[in-house]
Amino acid sequence: MSSKVYITGMGMISAIGNNVAESFHSLETMQSGIGELKYVRSRHKPLVPVGEVKKSTEELMEMAGLNPDNLTTRTSLLGLIAAQEAVKSAGIKDIKEYRTGIISATSVGGMDMTENHWLDYLNEEKSGPWLKYIETHECGDSTEFIADNLGIKDFLSTISTACSSAANAIMFGARLIKHGKLDRVIVGGTDAMSRFTINGFMTLMILDSENCKPFDSQRRGLNLGEGAGYIVLESEKAAKGKVIHAELSGYGNSNDAYHQTASSPDGAGAFMAMEKAFKISGLKPSDIDYINAHGTGTEINDLSEGTAIDRIFEKNVPSISSTKAYTGHTLAACAGIEAIFSILAIKHNIVFPNLNYKHPMTALSFKPTTTLERGKKIDHVLSNSFGFGGNTSALIFSRHH
Amino acid sequence: MDALIEQLKGEIIKQLNLEDLKPADIDSDAALFGGGLGLDSIDALELIVLLEKNYGIKVSNPADGKKIFQSVRTMAEYISANKK
Amino acid sequence: MEQKNYITSLCSIKNGIVSLDGVSGFSDKSIDGVDFIKAAYKEYQLSYPKFYKMDNLCKLAFVASELLLKNNPLTKKYASQDIAIVIANSASSLEIDTEHQRTISDKNNYFPSPSVFVYTLPNILIGEIAIRNSIKGENSFFIFDKFDAEFMSSYINSILDSSKAKCCITGWIELYENKYEAFLYTVEQQEGTLKTEHTAQELKKLYNH
């Protein structure tokens, strides 16, 4: 049993950088990674700016130190690269030294590869090495791939609850540590860009044809992104003598129970998830120094989330921003990536700006931070992530003393 | 117009999987949304697909749906005015 | 001190048989595959206009949850935020994923459907149960090779033991290529119609029964 859950390592890859240091540099220099679709073939290319990782799948293979004839998916590769960095940054030399697990979130799974061959699979006369991608299609395969490459054997799990998936992976990991089931656990998520996703979000008409503008009254929708983000959670025992980046002090999950994809107008689910996170952490809303919002840039999310935030903070909202205009919405990975942004905010006492914001929403009491804010002490950060299916999650990261 | 309205009712039932309804159950002038049919925002998007698939009419701003889909009649009027 | 948790009611739908708390109900082996789910919906006179719009996986989850909650109306006993929902399966939402893929693969017949796409996530079935019953507690969806009694019992017991919820709707909802299986049950902190302790061993027995 461990009453505290410490974060000792971080690793990520996204449109704004191939590791934590590069990503932090992009955040500080206010450089967005959103641009023209390059690595996925799509009829919608001119209409959908996206946040792609700036590497081909072959280049990713090399980065991960794998043989190029290794047949694997982009989702798995992004996940492995980020998880490798997380393990390394936590100074883990021997993965077997403690009971170690991995909980990885994904919604795309191996679809980025199988969608290229799906018609071939139906043709019995065709054959090729791509047949092997069938085995990589399911969500759990990416987790097994990462675990095998890192030598993790004690515990593996895959969570798929749409865009809140990685937050739920982090929450689940924290529980395993608190209950003494594991000493350390690598938690986060990975998702690659795919035609399946682009076409689906097109039908929902919630993709902005320009760069997304979270919390702006003229927002038109989200930009899709891809990437992976993992953090290493350790118990008090395992983290002894190590550099501790932050503590995971609170977490909460709820269901909005309103609509398959749309959030409720009053943000009931979001409110309850934040309320639970506060209860576990023992903190009050006024203790929060920065909110890394889910802030996708869709008409419905930003209004619903903003309304819930106004309610729980009683209109005294601290510095708040959505970083989706940097990375795009990385779906099941976003809460992993944004956990790292939250921890970086604490480490560097910095608030990252909400890019592309111009026009305030009349329904909300607050305006997001639009410039890089330095010098204010950031001790507690709230990070929200909400998914289709009404799945709403909130995490609180706190400075370790 | 009446023929188009009747045809549309059948198409709406099929497109929206309203299996337990018959065309006669849908009033031509009653509100499609917020009324007894229990339709939601996804159904509105689905009707936009119907317009494109069956009538070649492209609606690119989902907000336009509010006016077009007031009732089966307004939908039929929109189709006759914009059909290619 | 860890308290005991109990399986208090159970609904299973598979191979053309509905069974409630271990007692066989509606059965018709002549109905092929997933059509049985619709037949059960009609047989039990369930009424929910949105039912027909759901994909087959959600239809299965919906019928199982309606029957389960009719037997054991948790929403009358507990506050909406005290009821958790945790579901697992193996095929995820693969059946409807294939449907969506079909609509975007043919350049000459390209009409992807938003109402198909919204179901291409397995946890939407939890959303449907939550919407229907206004259940707002913690919810999660897991993907395993096969039903994992050890995981399910320890995960759900830990939610209840740590007071994150007071009861839970949980189980296995699997549907792919015309095969379907629902094993949905309620867990509470005291005995109900069923008085089976929620341990991996008891759960395995019930599941394999």
Interchain CB distance below 8 Å, B41 and A205? no
Residue C18, classed as helix, strand or coil, is strand
Minimum distance, in Å, between the CA of residue C134 and any CA atom of chain A: 6
Chain B residues with CB inside 8 Å of C50's CB?
38
Q: Which of A204, A205, A259 is facing B40, going by the closest CB pair? A: A259
For residue A334, pLDDT over 90 is answered with yes
Of the pLDDT bands very low, low, confident and very high (cuts 50, 70, 90), residue B36 is confident
C58-61, long-range: CB < 8 A, 24+ apart: C58/C119, C58/C124, C58/C125, C58/C128, C59/C34, C60/C13, C60/C34, C60/C173, C60/C175, C60/C180, C60/C182, C61/C87, C61/C125, C61/C126, C61/C128, C61/C129, C61/C173, C61/C182, C61/C184
Structural domains of chain B, with CATH: 2-82 (1.10.1200.10)
Number of Cβ within a 10 Å radius of residue C46: 14
**Cα–Cα distances in Å, from A245 out to A7, A311, A331, A345?**
6, 30, 25, 11
pLDDT at C209: 83
Considering chain C, what percentage of its residues have pLDDT values greater than 90? 86
Tokens of residue A372, six digits: 């890089």
Interchain CB distance below 8 Å, A203 and B49? yes
Q: Which of C92, C126, C158 is facing A389, going by the closest CB pair? A: C126
Interchain CB distance below 8 Å, C124 and A388? yes
Minimum distance, in Å, between the CA of residue B82 and any CA atom of chain C: 19
Q: Over the stretch A125-144, which tens digit does the pLDDT of each residue have?
A: 888 888 889 889 989 999 99
For residue A194, pLDDT over 50 is answered with yes
Minimum distance, in Å, between the CA of residue A193 and any CA atom of chain C: 15
Number of Cβ within a 10 Å radius of residue C141: 28
Minimum distance, in Å, between the CA of residue C141 and any CA atom of chain A: 6
Lowest-confidence segment of A312-326, B12-26, C71-85 by average pLDDT:
B12-26
- Measure the CA angle with vertex A272, ends C133 and C158; round to 5°: 80
Contact B30, B36 (CB under 8 A): yes
Chain B residues with CB inside 8 Å of C114's CB?
42, 45-46, 49
Interchain CB distance below 8 Å, B49 and A262? no
B-side interface with A, Cβ within 8 Å?
40-42, 45, 48-49, 62
Minimum distance, in Å, between the CA of residue C175 and any CA atom of chain A: 15
* CATH H superfamily, domain C6-207: Thiolase/Chalcone synthase (3.40.47.10)
For residue C1, pLDDT over 60 is answered with no
pLDDT at C203: 97
Chain C residues with CB inside 8 Å of B53's CB?
111
Closest alpha carbon to C151 in C76, C89, C67 = C89
Interchain CB distance below 8 Å, C49 and B38? yes
Chain B residues with CB inside 8 Å of A262's CB?
41
Find the residue in C nearest to A164 (Cα): C140
Return the partners of chain C (3 or more C-beta pairs < 8 Å): A, B
Domain locations along chain C: 6-207
Domain locations along chain A: 6-398
Cα–Cα dist A170/A161, whole Å: 13
Stretch C69-87: mean pLDDT, rounded? 96
Residue type, C32: D
HEC assignment per residue over chain A: CCCCCEEEEEEEEECCECCHHHHHHHHHCCCCCCECCCCCCCCCHHHCCEECCCCCHHHHHHHCCCCCCCCCCHHHHHHHHHHHHHHHHCCCCCHHHCCEEEEEECCCCCHHHHHHHHHHHHCCCCCCHHHHHHHHCCHHHHHHHHHHHHCCCCEEEEECCHHHHHHHHHHHHHHHHHCCCCCEEEEEEEECCCHHHHHHHHHCCCECCCCCCCCCCCCCCECEECEEEEEEEECCCCCCCCCCCEEEEEEEEEECCCCCCCCCCCCHHHHHHHHHHHHHHCCCHHHCCEEECCCCCCHHHHHHHHHHHHHHCCCCCCEEECCHHHHCECHHHHHHHHHHHHHHHHHHCEECCCCCCCCCCCCCCCCCCCCCEECCCCCEEEEEEECHHHEEEEEEEECCC
Q: What's the mean pLDDT when you consider all of chain A?
A: 96
E strands of chain C, at which residues?
Answer: 6-14, 17-20, 23-27, 83-89, 139-143, 167-176, 179-188, 196-197
Cα–Cα dist B76/B69, whole Å: 9
Which range has the top average pLDDT, A41-50, A121-130, A333-342, C33-42?
A: A333-342
For residue A327, pLDDT over 70 is answered with yes
pLDDT at C168: 98
Stretch C81-103: mean pLDDT, rounded? 94
Q: Which of C49, C113, C118 is facing B49, going by the closest CB pair? A: C113
For chain B, state the CA radius of gyration. Answer: 12
Q: Over the stretch A1-45, which tens digit does the pLDDT of each residue have?
A: 678 999 999 999 999 999 999 999 999 999 999 999 999 999 999
Cα–Cα dist A325/A28, whole Å: 14
Find the residue in C nearest to A391 (Cα): C139
**Cα–Cα distances in Å, from A21 out to A11, A77, A219, A286, C10?**
9, 19, 30, 30, 51
Strands A380-386 and A290-292, bridge-based pairing: parallel
Interchain CB distance below 8 Å, C141 and A160? yes
Q: What's the mean pLDDT when you consider all of chain B?
A: 91
Report yes or no: C104 at the B interface, CB cutoff 8 Å: no
Cα–Cα dist A390/A393, whole Å: 10
Of the pLDDT bands very low, low, confident and very high (cuts 50, 70, 90), residue A104 is very high
B-side interface with C, Cβ within 8 Å?
16-20, 37-38, 42-43, 45-46, 49, 52-53
Find the residue in C nearest to B36 (Cα): C49
Chain C residues with CB inside 8 Å of B45's CB?
114-115
Considering chain A, what percentage of its residues have pLDDT values greater than 70? 100
Interchain CB distance below 8 Å, B42 and C118? yes
Q: Over the stretch A138-175, which tens digit does the pLDDT of each residue have?
A: 899 999 999 999 999 999 999 999 999 999 999 999 99
Interface test with A, best of B33, B45, B51, B52 (most A CBs within 10 A): B45
For residue C109, pLDDT over 90 is answered with no
Lowest-confidence segment of A354-358, C25-29, C48-52, C194-198 by average pLDDT:
C48-52
Contact C96, C60 (CB under 8 A): no
Minimum distance, in Å, between the CA of residue A377 and any CA atom of chain C: 32
Interchain CB distance below 8 Å, B45 and A203? yes
Residue B39, classed as helix, strand or coil, is strand
pLDDT at A1: 65
Chain C residues with CB inside 8 Å of A107's CB?
121
Minimum distance, in Å, between the CA of residue B49 and any CA atom of chain A: 8
Residue B1, classed as helix, strand or coil, is coil
CATH classification (class only), A6-398 = alpha beta
Q: Over the stretch A246-304, which tens digit does the pLDDT of each residue have?
A: 999 999 999 999 998 999 999 999 999 999 999 999 999 999 999 999 999 999 999 99
Of the pLDDT bands very low, low, confident and very high (cuts 50, 70, 90), residue B1 is confident
For residue B84, pLDDT over 80 is answered with no
